[in-house]
Amino acid sequence: MPLCFSLKLQSNPTDHLNSFSTYQTYSVKDQIVRLANEPSTVNWMKSVRREMHENPELSYEEFETSALIRRELEKLGVAYKWPVAKTGVVATIGSGSPPFVALRADMDALPIEEMVDWENKSKVEGKMHACGHDGHVAMLLGAAKILKQLQDTLQGTVVLIFQPAEERGVGAKDMIEEGVLDNVEAVFGMHIVLDYPTGVVGLRPGEFLAGCGSFKAKIHGKGGHAAIPQQSIDPILAASTSVISLQSIVSRETDPLDSQVVSVAVIKAGSSFNVIPESATISGTFRAFSKKNFKGLMNRIEEVVKGQAAVHRCSAEVEFLGKEHPTIPPTVNDERIYEQVRGISSEIVGEENIQLAHTSMGSEDFAFYLDKVPGFMLFLGTRNEKIGAIHAPHSPNYIIDEDVFPIGAAIHAAFAHSFLSDSTVKLHLHNF
């Protein structure tokens, strides 16, 4: 996808179910694309991303990152609040009055040693932006610049959420607890992916990303000498049968066409070859796309572990809300907002560059926002074999194609502008 992309107008503006083609003049749409592609803006987004990439910070350590964001917002004349959820930044552009729509970017890095040798390689040993969050911030700042320039045409208020700690799965929840969604009618986010070439947009209404849960079960028995097991109650045996029985939840109890996962990844018990321990611990993850199935897996995991423990004369306690690996609900995109996002995206990148995104067992704490208000997350392709942008996220060789930045910034800005205008039109019609 070339750096300078063009807006493709519909021959009949009423063809879309959404109001993007009817609520505003073509000149505003053209302006969004033109502003996103201004060389100074493109170069600025790249420089912000590169500065952020050189100085990666882990979850809740994003102090320099938030300072960078605040510095750039101040240059743009955009008001903000900080700190929110320890290191987060929340900015606003527009009238300051309803309706409110939110745009979100995550900003934390990963504990990975970067292996890519380039001019702006990470300067922090053992830390790297290997999931594209630096790109997300650059694109949202780009959208902020566009929206600030079009502020007089905004029929409401855009809330810009720069969120910490996505990689820990807790940042969004903490931001919500501090009120970032108060009065917000809809929330929008995007994630750059290697699944599609640069500039291709992946969209999916409804169930999109799996909910991610973790569990930890401690099985209590009675310790003793391994040579006289009849005097003990063996928690290892109970743990072993629990692991085997947990595999039957997905293989025997769920629809094969409805993807779900239960995986035991950790077993801990004992420290000596001739001692039956007092307890054994198993832990793992479970995934599902629907909230109903997600809750169902939680219930069955607990039933299976406690049932197997009882069979072997043990007791068990099962924990799901661990601090290290919190439970994240499924990411479910709003069906109605999908129509609006699809229309906007096709206007910007062309219908030929729109694809139905596949569901993914990966999870995103953006789901916490969607639990509170209607919203949408899309995938934005950044695969480019020529520059080596082929390695999956969380790889030490991860590279993103920066040519995607004006596209992402334009989609962010266009969605916010569209949603506010559409909401205002509906309010006027209701009052009429």
Residue range 46-80, pLDDT digits in tens? 999 999 999 999 999 999 999 999 999 999 999 99
User: Which of 269, 291, 319 is at the close of a domain?
Assistant: 319
The CA-to-CA distance between both ends of the chain, in Å, stands at 45
pLDDT over 80 at 156, yes or no: yes
The confidence score (pLDDT) of residue 14 equals: 30
In a domain, 4, yes or no: no
Same domain, 166 and 45: yes
- The CA distance from 170 to 176, in Å, is 10
Same domain, 231 and 306: yes
Burial of 253 (0-12, 13-18, 19+ CB in 10 A): exposed
The string of pLDDT tens digits covering residues 416-427 is: 999 999 876 554
Q: What is the CATH number of the domain that holds 235?
A: 3.30.70.360
In a domain, 3, yes or no: no
- The mean pLDDT value for 252-256 works out to 91
Q: What is the CATH number of the domain that holds 154?
A: 3.40.630.10
The confidence score (pLDDT) of residue 286 equals: 95
Q: Is 133 annotated to bind ligand?
A: yes
User: Which of 254, 289, 319 is at the close of a domain?
Assistant: 319
Pairing of strands 211-220, 201-203: unpaired
Grade residue 428 by pLDDT with cuts at 50, 70 and 90. Answer: very low
In a domain, 31, yes or no: yes
- The CA distance from 12 to 25, in Å, is 13
SS3 annotation, 205-234: CEEEECEEEEEEEEEECECEECCCHHHCEC
What is the pTM assigned to this prediction? 0.87
Same domain, 169 and 30: yes
Task: Work out how many domains the chain is built from and give that number.
Answer: 2
In a domain, 200, yes or no: yes
Grade residue 180 by pLDDT with cuts at 50, 70 and 90. Answer: very high
372: helix, coil or strand? helix
The confidence score (pLDDT) of residue 425 equals: 53
Same domain, 360 and 299: no
In a domain, 232, yes or no: yes
Same domain, 237 and 199: no
If you count them, how many residues does the chain have?
432
Same domain, 308 and 357: no
Q: Is 394 annotated to bind ligand?
A: yes
pLDDT over 50 at 432, yes or no: no
pLDDT over 50 at 22, yes or no: no
The confidence score (pLDDT) of residue 314 equals: 98
Same domain, 173 and 235: no
- The mean pLDDT value for 346-371 works out to 95
Mean pLDDT of the chain: 91
- The mean pLDDT value for 340-352 works out to 96
The string of pLDDT tens digits covering residues 375-401 is: 999 999 999 999 999 999 999 999 999
Burial of 290 (0-12, 13-18, 19+ CB in 10 A): middle
Same domain, 69 and 102: yes
- Chain centroid, CA 88 distance in Å: 15
In a domain, 134, yes or no: yes
Burial of 304 (0-12, 13-18, 19+ CB in 10 A): buried
Order of strands, edge to edge, in the sheet holding 260-269? 260-269, 279-288, 211-220, 315-319
pLDDT over 70 at 15, yes or no: no
Q: Which of 52-56, 149-153, 272-276, 321-325 has the lowest mean pLDDT?
A: 321-325
- The mean pLDDT value for 227-235 works out to 97
The confidence score (pLDDT) of residue 228 equals: 96
The string of pLDDT tens digits covering residues 261-271 is: 999 999 999 99
In a domain, 1, yes or no: no
User: Which carries the bigger pLDDT value, residue 342 or residue 30?
Assistant: 342
Same domain, 71 and 177: yes
Grade residue 324 by pLDDT with cuts at 50, 70 and 90. Answer: low
- The mean pLDDT value for 181-186 works out to 97
User: Which of 319, 343, 369 is at the close of a domain?
Assistant: 319
The confidence score (pLDDT) of residue 326 equals: 80
**243 is in which domain, residue-wise?**
211-319
User: Which carries the bigger pLDDT value, residue 13 or residue 184?
Assistant: 184
In a domain, 21, yes or no: yes
Same domain, 119 and 264: no
138: left (phi over 0), alpha (psi -120 to 50) or beta: alpha
Same domain, 353 and 397: yes
Given a contact cutoff of 8 angstroms between Cβ atoms, the answer to whether 76 and 144 are in contact is yes
Same domain, 299 and 344: no
Q: Is 324 annotated to bind ligand?
A: no
- Return all residues near 361 (Cβ < 8 A) that are at least 6 apart: 210, 259, 261, 287
Grade residue 277 by pLDDT with cuts at 50, 70 and 90. Answer: very high
- The mean pLDDT value for 149-162 works out to 97
The string of pLDDT tens digits covering residues 208-225 is: 999 999 999 999 999 999
